[in-house]
Structure 1
Amino acid sequence: MKTLQKITVILTIGLALSILVVFFTTSNAVSSGNETIIRFGHGAAESNERHLAVMKFKELVEEKSEGKMKVQVYPNEQLGSEAEMIESVTFNDLQMVAASAFSQYDQRISVFELPYLFDTYEQAWQVLDGEIGQEVAEPLLEDGLRVVAYFENGFRHVTSNKPIEEPEDLSGLKIRTPEFPLSISTFKAFGSNPTPMAFGELYMALQQGTVDAQENPIANTYASKFNEIQDYLSLTAHQYMPLPVAISEEFWRTLTSEEQEIIKSSASEAAQFHRDILRENEEEMISKLQDAGMTVIEPDRDKFREEADAVYEAYKNRFGEDFVNNILKAVK
């Protein structure tokens, strides 16, 4: 009987310790002595420019705070998918995330993905870093998500095994898109058959012929070596996609004004760092794709832009006509 009691006590103590370990390694892992700990997750590999930008943020925060703030970085979806990481930030189980899947909380954040909304990177950055960028992100505060900067995803282009020079060339083509409503709507407008699937499944799907084509920023096409299974790169630039960086609003309110400023300024500097290195590397990546045997096509984008008009009409109904018109006015 005494042995049984001892075992029960040991098991009870063990369970209590396990709960404490979990408790202090999740939502409450934001302080250690005199240090403030920021856990930052993202979905890219450590070789990706996105990871370099997050590491730049870490460097800036720790330098500006003189080591009083520490950033722990978790790349490559170590803490779950983008959607799961964003949800963790809403609960302050994770303090920061760089991801694309915020439209699950408010679809208006995806307004920047309207086809051919922006003609240049500079035009996009000016809108994102101004009042419109703040206004579009503001509704996310209701879910505990504060957007502090917009990192870079860039302009998206099509790869395929047939030349794509005008929208008619996409007719009936089975093309992989992300699971974003605007991406799907855009390619339906082009007459193709958009097929959403996870990015991690894409290489094999192209290899096996499950899909005929795909669309991504140059950096993703290059890093994933799609040139091994796709013959053509068509520089359609059909969508620009930013990468919002969000911090837990619950966590944010525990910070001093000085700490908040350190995070804001560091995120802004890291965002521009990300934008710059992607732009600097893009031409080189295109050249390397050509050297590897890929044919690069520069199509007439005006024809694609005309076909995309139908998407604007549909999303004016969804987002609100005044909202979309204000975005268009800011772009001009």
Structure 2
Amino acid sequence: MKYMRGIVISLLFVLGFSLVFVFFTQKEDDKTILIRIGHDQPVVNERHIALTHFKELVEERSNGEIRVEIYPQGLLGNEATLTESVSFDDLEMVATSSTNQYGSLISVFELPYLFDSYEEAWATLDGEIGRKVADTYLDNNLRILAYFENGFRQITSNRPIYSPEDLKGLKIRTPEFPMSIQVFNALGANPTPMGFGELYTALQQGTVDAQENPVANAYTNKFQEVQDYLIMTNHQYMPVHLIISDEFFQSLSKEYQEIIQKSAQESAEFHRQLLREREQQMIDELVADGMKVIEVDTEPFKEKVGPVYEWFARIHGQEIIDRILKAAKS
């Protein structure tokens, strides 16, 4: 019996050692590079769909040598936490509009009524100005690969809004961005900054009366269940920044860097087109669910936001604003 027990123990030891050896050998031979991307939107949102497109492009072009995992709906944290994780090189990538804590220059693209069309915004973002602004983030280990779409922002509310006077005293949720707060202060509302993950509950419980977001974010997060009106103010254009840890990026071969960079820009263009094609459909479905759409005259709103430009120019100078306006119009 002792003899048999000894044999069993010996076999278990050999088997265990073999499994450990195989495990570490496989780990050592595994050349696959893992890229994890976090964002805060649900899987039905066009942002997630565009990131899935990015995943497919990268994995195909690298012959599976790069593997991409996407973590939606704040599974790895809110936008600020995700961006911080990339800055610390604890996470490879993030798709976010929350970067102001690393420098407010990039919020120049969010000045109210800066762009008259999507095409103006894209030309500016994809050009020299967009790249120079993006490069200011490298000091914080944040490399902006491409500008994904967030689109023009609209207001949803439980009361109708036709003019800036109707915003007076309105408790409206904004992102925790100084630019957004400045815009709604200038328009006479009562901006209430909070994280996106808290927003639906805040609307449901009446903590805030309104919010502002692109149509896609309102639609995919079912704000029509807790809001009565969609007011088409187009008050800000806002991109989403597709960011990679620069330390991680620099550790890759030139071939892999080119694959990631090219796939990022193509996915940004895919995202933009996807949203353009689907936005009217989303509005129609919001209406079918009982939401009322109000098309406002934007001129009175534009007249109110001059102080926002003055505030930004005091911090960053007038030149960057003038350059963007010139580039957009050309």
TM over 0.5, yes or no?
Answer: yes
Q: Distance in 2 between matches of 1:252 and 1:226?
A: 37
- Which residues of 2 match residues 205-224 of structure 1 at below 5 A? 205-224=202-221
State the AA in 2 paired with 1:181: P
- Tell whether 2:96 aligns with 1:82: no
Structure-2 change in CA distance of 1:216 and 1:265 (3 Å): same
Deviations along 1:201-233, whole A, 9 cap, x unmatched?
A: 222222222211111110111122222222211
CA contact under 8 A between 2:174 and 2:194: conserved in structure 1?
yes
Closer/same/farther in 2, CA of residues 57 and 181 from structure 1, 3 Å limit? same
Letter in 2 for 1:321: Q
Distance 1:86 1:116, change over 3 A: same
Q: Structure 2 counterpart of 1:210, which letter?
A: T
Deviations 1:64-109, CA, capped at 9 Å, x for gaps: 1111111122222222221111111122221111111111011111
Q: Does 2:260 align with 1:263?
A: yes
Aligned to 2:162, the other structure's residue is in SS state coil
Indicate whether 1:93 and 2:99 are aligned: no
Instruction: Return the index of the structure with the highest Cα Rg.
Output: 2
Q: Spell out structure 1 runs of 4+ moving beyond 6 A.
A: none
Please tell me whether residue 304 in structure 1 is matched to residue 301 in structure 2.
yes
Q: How big is the shift at 1:32?
A: 6.8
Question: How many residue pairs were aligned?
Answer: 304
Q: What per-residue deviation string (whole Å, max 9, x for no partner) do you get for residues 299-328 of structure 1?
A: 001111111111101111012222222222
Matched AA of 1:145 = L
- Kept after mapping to 1: 8 A contact 2:134/2:143: yes
Which moved further from structure 2: 155-164 or 202-211? 202-211
Residue type of the alignment partner of 1:261: E
**AA paired with 2:266?**
E
| Aligned match of 1:144 | 141
Aligned residue for 2:234, secondary structure, equals: strand
Residues 27-67 of structure 1, C-alpha deviations (whole Å, 9 max, x = no match): xx9x9722222122222222211111111111000111111
RMSD over aligned Cα atoms: 1.6
**2:68 corresponds to which residue?**
71
Compute the TM-score of the two structures, normalised by the length of structure 2.
0.88
C-alpha contact 2:42 2:221 (8 A) present in aligned 1: no
Q: Is the counterpart of residue 295 in structure 1 residue 292 in structure 2?
A: yes
Structure 2: 5+ residue runs without aligned partners?
1-26
User: Given the alignment, which residue of 229, 233, 237 partners 2:230?
Assistant: 233
Q: 38, 42, 65: which is aligned to 2:39?
A: 42
Tell me the equivalent position of 1:195.
Answer: 192
Query: What is the TM-score when the length of structure 1 is the normalising length?
Result: 0.88
Question: In 1, Cα distance between the equivalents of 2:74 and 2:290?
Answer: 31
Greater shift, 138-147 or 85-94, is seen at 85-94
The answer (yes or no) to whether the contact 2:36–2:70 under 8 Å persists in 1 is yes
1:25 paired residue number: none
Amino acid aligned to 1:240: Y
Say which of 240, 243, 247 aligns to 1:243.
240
2:314 paired residue number: 317
How much does 1:128 deviate? 0.7
1:163-202 to 2 correspondences below 5 Å: 163-202=160-199
Q: Distance in 2 between matches of 1:167 and 1:184?
A: 15
Secondary structure at the aligned position of 1:115 is classed as coil
Is it true that 1:52 corresponds to 2:49 in the alignment?
Answer: yes
CA distance in 2, matches of 1:68, 1:95: 16
The aligned amino acid for 1:73 is I
Question: Take 2:76 and 2:29, find their aligned partners in 1: how far apart are those partners?
Answer: 21
Percentage of matched positions with identical amino acids? 58
| Unpaired runs of at least 5, structure 1 | 1-28
129, 132, 135: which one pairs with 1:135?
132
* Residues 260-319 of structure 1, C-alpha deviations (whole Å, 9 max, x = no match): 110011001111111111111110111111112211111001111111111101111012
The secondary structure found in structure 2 opposite 1:238 is: coil
Match of 1:158 in 2: 155
- What is the deviation of 1:235? 0.3
1:22 corresponding residue in structure 2: none
Q: Is the 8 Å Cα contact of residues 41 and 48 (structure 2) preserved in structure 1?
A: yes
Q: Distance in 2 between matches of 1:229 and 1:55?
A: 29
Amino acid at match of 1:138: D
In structure 1, C-alpha distance between the alignment counterparts of 2:226 and 2:87, rounded to whole Å:
39
